[in-house]
């Protein structure tokens, strides 16, 4: 019995055939062709979500300002942060990487801020709430 097992082990080949290796490479290629576009789409969604979060923060700061404040406001961007200004700097905050903010307001019923991503996808926050767009401005 042991001799028969030893004989079958000696006769067994130790490697893979070319066909087996090609089949494995084709399967890996198909999986990569499916996974890479899905991954790239997830990155785009993440950038868009960061823009929505940034513009919501800025819009809520503008709305909070107009609870007691009056006057015209502007939103400006500088080195990864945003600043909300009237005659002096009112408040500021950080932007997500790759995002740019802009906007203005004159009262609690007339303001609009927008944030756009490096993909030029923009979201706006106005007295009407969050929406896709750029307050009628052209994205540079």
Q: What is the pLDDT of residue 108?
A: 86
**CATH fold of 18-132:** minor pseudopilin epsh fold (3.55.40)
Distances (CA, A) of 54 to 31, 58, 82, 97: 35, 6, 9, 11
CA atoms of 35 and 57, how far apart (whole Å): 33
pLDDT at 88: 79
State the CB neighbour count (10 A cutoff) for residue 91: 13
Domain residue limits, the chain: 18-132
Edge to edge, what strands does the sheet with 122-126 contain? Answer: 89-94, 81-85, 73-78, 100-107, 110-116, 122-126, 129-132
Q: Per the structure block, which two tokens stand in for 130?
A: 């969050």
Closest Cα to residue 135, out of 81, 59, 71?
59
pLDDT of residue 96: 93
Nearest to 91 by CA among 69, 61, 112: 61
pTM above 0.95, yes or no: no
Q: Which two tokens stand for residue 129?
A: 């709430």
Q: 94 - beta bridge partners?
A: 81
Q: Return d(Cα 40, Cα 43) in angstroms, integer.
A: 5
**Residue 15: per-residue pLDDT:** 77
Beta bridge partners of 101: 115
Parallel/antiparallel/unpaired status of strands 100-107 and 110-116? antiparallel
Residues of the chain with pLDDT below 70 are 8-14
Helix (H, G, I), strand (E, B) or coil at 137: coil
Q: What is the DSSP letter of 79?
A: T
pLDDT of residue 90: 83
């Amino acid at each position: 019995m042991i001799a028969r097992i030893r004989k079958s082990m000696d006769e067994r080949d130790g490697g893979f055939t070319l066909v087996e290796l090609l089949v494995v490479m084709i399967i890996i290629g198909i999986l990569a062709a499916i996974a890479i576009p899905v991954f790239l789409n997830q990155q785009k969604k993440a950038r868009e979500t960061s823009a929505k979060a940034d513009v919501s923060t800025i819009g809520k700061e503008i709305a909070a300002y107009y609870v007691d404040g009056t006057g015209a406001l502007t939103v400006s961007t500088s080195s990864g942060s945003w600043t909300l200004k009237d005659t002096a700097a009112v408040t500021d905050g950080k932007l997500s990487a790759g995002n740019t903010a802009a906007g203005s307001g004159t009262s609690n019923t007339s303001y609009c801020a927008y944030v756009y991503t490096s993909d030029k996808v923009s979201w706006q926050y106005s007295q009407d709430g969050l929406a896709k767009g750029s307050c009628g401005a052209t994205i540079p």
